[in-house]
């Protein structure tokens, strides 16, 4: 029987996708093995100069409509252990709600206590976060600039532990590890914490160990002011201004330091819709940076290993696109394998490549080991996050498509509710998001995946059966969680409106006297 062009094309595409997934998976596994062999790292605390030897530092707090967490970060910034005459705090407030009233109260109170803190407001949100940071730089007086998003809480010794690393004049920025204020708040926060641990304790740490390029994560880090200027400053050309600036700095010859044992805890998104929006922004921004910077990366006078790792890093969200393509062609692959036995060897090799689907699990286990947690207890959650993560494939595909269809998107912040203890209470606060219509498409694609699994079962193609079930489960979990959270918000709409009004009034009234330990 002759082989059709469609069959040949399907086989070639299937092999190519499998190979690319193998590359990504093998790279993750390599990082996991290296950091596991190395063990947990404790960064030597460098001796800091005292008195006149300390540099001036500016702390920037970009804030947009963060009623529930603004107080927490402002108080934490004011409590940083650094001489008052060498510390400038800028609250870069683009808010359009009562958050600005709260910030004004807090800043006025701090100024009365001798803190050099300013409440900086712009006429409009041009450039969004990147624009706010760039605007703040025009009046920043520090030799170094520390940046914290509103949902983070830096420890008091943050500056004491980061500034000494700039003794190396080539260092552009120092990045700390993200911790979690609300890891055990809900199943969603536990899943996110596990994934973020993997990124910071395996990938970022591994890149730092090898001297490969890694990025400032937008918060919980500190920059040399002259490095920001030399790299071209903050720009809003992408939705991930942090990744963009980091790579522009690397391309200019700057280096960076990653401090694994300096942890800055943050509040994880409690609502699936907020989590989805965050992932959409990160995915689009990463792909925008890849499109913008990869040509320069491959022209840079650096090692082949650095170029390769930079490419894998910037294209990491492409994994979701590959998974989507794989799922879409699965029925054709089943047909080709059934009708043409000659393809069995090719598909067998592809199955071997597909074994790297274990890589995320190995990656997450390594992250938990590095965090000093019992990875055996986390195995069920690791299996869940691996499945759940595959459900983001359509979310990422939309982000990639919108690079071309919506070239000037609005920066959509991730709503935080100041809740770190009791699950469910976020539904009674403002900043709720409506149902994302893509959840319906995920529901349909999930059904397609299970139909494909049924077809694979009928043809005894056990490999595709397994992966189709995994992908279908991830898509249905993502869409189901989206609908469940939307229903929870809808049910209490009237109660939430009354609760929001009362709590907003209380929040503003109590701000000047609220004790720091009860903030948030």
Looking at the annotation, which residues are catalytic?
94, 242
Give the C-alpha separation, 231 to 154, whole Å. 26
Measured torsion, CA atoms of residues 352, 354, 359, 361, in degrees rounded to the nearest 10: -110
DSSP run (H or E) holding 20: helix 5-38
β-strand pairing of 221-224 with 171-180: antiparallel
**Cα 435 from Cα 483, distance rounded (Å):** 7
257 by DSSP, 3-state: which?
strand
Alpha helices (runs of H) in 371-392, residue ranges in sequence order: 375-390
Give the three-class secondary structure for 262: strand
Secondary structure E strands in 30-110? 57-63, 87-93
Tell me 278's DSSP state.
Answer: H
272-299 and 187-198 helices cross at what angle (nearest 10)?
10
| Three-state SS at 3 | coil
Strand, coil or helix: 265: strand
Angle between helices 241-251 and 128-137 (to 10 degrees): 60
For residue 68, with 0-12 CB atoms within 10 Å meaning exposed, 13-18 middle and 19 or more buried, which class applies?
buried
**What is the rounded distance in angstroms from the CA atom of residue 180 to the CA atom of residue 496?**
26
Q: Is 249 helix (H, G, I), strand (E, B) or coil?
A: helix
Residues in the chain: 520
């Amino acid at each position: 029987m002759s082989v059709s062009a469609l069959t040949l094309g399907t086989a070639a595409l299937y092999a190519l996708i499998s190979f690319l997934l193998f590359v990504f998976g093998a790279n993750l596994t390599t990082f996991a093995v290296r950091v596991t062999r190395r063990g947990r790292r404790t960064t030597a605390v460098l001796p800091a100069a005292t008195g006149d030897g300390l540099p001036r530092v500016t702390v920037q707090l970009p804030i947009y409509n963060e009623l529930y967490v603004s107080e927490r970060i402002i108080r934490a910034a004011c409590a940083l252990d650094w001489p008052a005459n060498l510390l400038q705090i800028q609250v870069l407030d683009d808010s359009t709600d009562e958050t600005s009233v709260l910030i004004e109260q807090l800043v006025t109170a701090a100024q009365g206590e001798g803190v050099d803190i300013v409440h900086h407001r712009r006429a409009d949100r041009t450039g969004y976060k990147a624009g706010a940071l760039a605007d703040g730089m025009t009046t920043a007086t520090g030799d170094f600039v520390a940046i914290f998003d509103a949902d983070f809480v830096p420890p008091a010794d943050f500056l004491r532990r980061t500034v000494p690393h700039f003794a190396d004049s080539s260092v552009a920025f120092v990045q700390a590890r993200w911790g979690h204020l609300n890891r055990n708040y809900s199943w969603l926060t536990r899943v996110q914490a596990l994934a973020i641990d993997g990124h910071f304790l395996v990938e970022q740490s591994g890149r730092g160990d090898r001297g490969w390029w890694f990025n400032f994560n937008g918060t919980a880090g500190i920059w040399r002011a002259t490095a920001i200027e030399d790299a071209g400053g903050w720009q809003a050309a992408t939705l991930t201004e942090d990744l963009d600036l980091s790579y522009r700095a690397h391309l200019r010859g700057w280096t960076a330091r990653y401090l694994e044992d300096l942890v800055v805890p943050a509040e994880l998104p409690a609502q699936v819709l907020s989590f989805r929006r965050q992932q959409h922004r990160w995915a689009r921004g990463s792909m925008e940076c890849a499109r913008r910077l990869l040509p320069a990366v491959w022209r840079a006078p650096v090692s082949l290993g650095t170029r390769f790792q930079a490419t894998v890093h910037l294209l990491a969200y492409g994994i979701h696109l590959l998974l989507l393509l794989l799922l879409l062609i699965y029925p054709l692959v089943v047909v080709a394998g059934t009708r043409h036995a000659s393809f069995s060897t090719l598909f067998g090799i592809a199955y071997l490549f597909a074994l790297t689907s274990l890589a995320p699990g190995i990656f997450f286990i390594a992250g938990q080991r590095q965090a000093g947690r019992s990875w055996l207890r986390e195995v069920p959650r690791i299996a869940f996050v691996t499945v759940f993560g595959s459900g983001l494939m359509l979310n990422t595909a939309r982000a990639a498509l919108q690079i071309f269809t919506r070239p000037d998107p609005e920066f959509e912040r991730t709503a935080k509710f100041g809740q770190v203890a009791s699950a469910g209470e976020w539904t009674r606060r403002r900043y709720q998001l409506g149902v994302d219509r893509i959840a319906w498409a995920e529901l349909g694609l999930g059904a397609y995946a299970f139909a494909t699994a049924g077809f694979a079962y009928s043809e005894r193609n056990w490999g595709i059966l397994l992966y189709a079930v995994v992908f279908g489960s991830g898509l249905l979990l993502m869409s189901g969680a989206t609908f469940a959270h939307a229903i929870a918000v809808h049910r209490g709409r009237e109660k939430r409106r009354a609760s929001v009004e009362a709590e907003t009034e209380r929040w503003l009234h109590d701000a000047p006297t609220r004790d720091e330990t009860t903030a948030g």
